[in-house]
């Protein structure tokens, strides 16, 4: 089968590339922003016409950490809406058999009972700190469902919790929490400075290793046809504080004594606890997730080995 993966040079795209590298049944095309500007419909059509995909895994998005989400609300909304509208319309035009689009747990309502499940997605406004990005991603779920209902297009959506792993963006300001903290700790140790973390470290998150998510996505591609979204996540018991994550990173990098929290900064949303009950019922088997300490160790080692060339 011919699979086009948008966002193919990113964290999950690279995990899928590694997973599918020896699969002779798949002809895969990994599309990066350098290959095609998906905000431009003409270029998007040209890309689809060139690759003629049977399946699409839509990962492309403009993303960032808490403070980018607060600074760039208009850009994150506008650019993501353009990307999603163009990709889904091209999937429809070129009669793609199935499109899997990636959402995020940050799009759920701020005021909500926990744990979150798939039916709660539109039950209130998202947290103010990621307003623009969150609504763009919510519209992607709506768009997918509308194509499904009106045309019978198999456009499904997945909602992974916080993803981390090799090939991530380790930018100090625009990266997500784990890669940003890894880079901060690396520089702090190198320069013998305090490893300072913005916020109190108290917020709680569920993290999923990119290689685990790649396996789950391929399972979804082959077997899941529901128009309703599905959360892909570790269990509620695996929820962990940012403080604990920072301590694991510091421990792995042997820099535990110089760890400090700057509580004058915003923490963002305190928790986003998601239920993976639907996923576990759908899988009908016990999926073995990578323990977070092992995942962070592997990510740190990859970052150090690829420091000169990785995204940062």
Stated as kind and residue range, the H or E segment containing 283 is helix 277-283
Residue 27, token pair as written in the block = 């002809």
Residues in the chain: 312
Measure the CA–CA gap between 63 and 65, rounded to whole angstroms.
Answer: 7
Residue 253, token pair as written in the block = 């990098």
Catalytic residue numbers read: 133
For the chain, the helix, strand and coil percentages under 3-state DSSP, each to the nearest 5: 45, 15, 40
Measure the CA–CA gap between 25 and 146, rounded to whole angstroms.
Answer: 31
DSSP 37-105: -TTSHHHHHHHHHHH--SEEEE-------HHHHHH-HHHHHHHHHHHHHHHHHHHHHTT-SEEEEE--G
């Amino acid at each position: 089968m011919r699979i086009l993966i948008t966002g193919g040079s990113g964290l999950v795209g690279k995990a899928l590339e590694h997973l599918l590298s020896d699969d002779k049944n798949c002809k895969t095309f990994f599309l990066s922003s350098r290959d095609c500007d998906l905000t431009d419909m003409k270029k998007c059509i040209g890309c689809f016409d060139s690759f003629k995909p049977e399946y699409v895994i839509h990962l492309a998005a403009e993303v960032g950490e808490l403070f980018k989400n607060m600074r760039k609300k208009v850009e994150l909304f506008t650019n993501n809406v353009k990307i999603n509208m163009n990709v889904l319309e091209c999937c429809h035009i070129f009669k793609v058999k199935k499109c899997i689009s990636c959402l995020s747990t940050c799009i759920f309502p701020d005021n909500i009972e926990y744990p979150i499940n798939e039916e709660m997605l539109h039950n209130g406004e998202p947290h103010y700190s990621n307003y623009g990005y969150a609504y763009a991603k919510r519209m992607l779920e709506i768009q997918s469902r509308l194509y499904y209902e009106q045309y019978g297009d198999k456009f499904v959506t997945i909602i992974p919790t916080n993803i981390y792993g090799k090939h991530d963006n380790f930018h100090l300001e625009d990266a997500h929490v784990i890669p940003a903290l890894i880079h901060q700790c690396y520089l702090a140790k190198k320069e013998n400075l305090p490893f300072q973390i913005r916020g109190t470290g108290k917020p709680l998150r569920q993290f999923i290793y990119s290689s685990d998510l790649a396996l789950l996505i391929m399972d979804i591609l082959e077997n899941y046809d529901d128009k309703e979204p599905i959360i892909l996540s570790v269990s509620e018991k695996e929820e962990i504080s940012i403080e604990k994550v920072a301590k694991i990173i510091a421990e792995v990098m042997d820099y535990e004594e110089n760890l400090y929290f700057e509580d004058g900064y915003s923490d963002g949303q305190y928790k986003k606890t998601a239920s993976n009950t639907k996923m576990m019922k759908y899988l009908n088997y016990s999926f073995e997730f990578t323990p977070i300490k092992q995942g962070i160790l592997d990510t740190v080692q990859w970052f150090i080995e690829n420091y000169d060339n990785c995204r940062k």
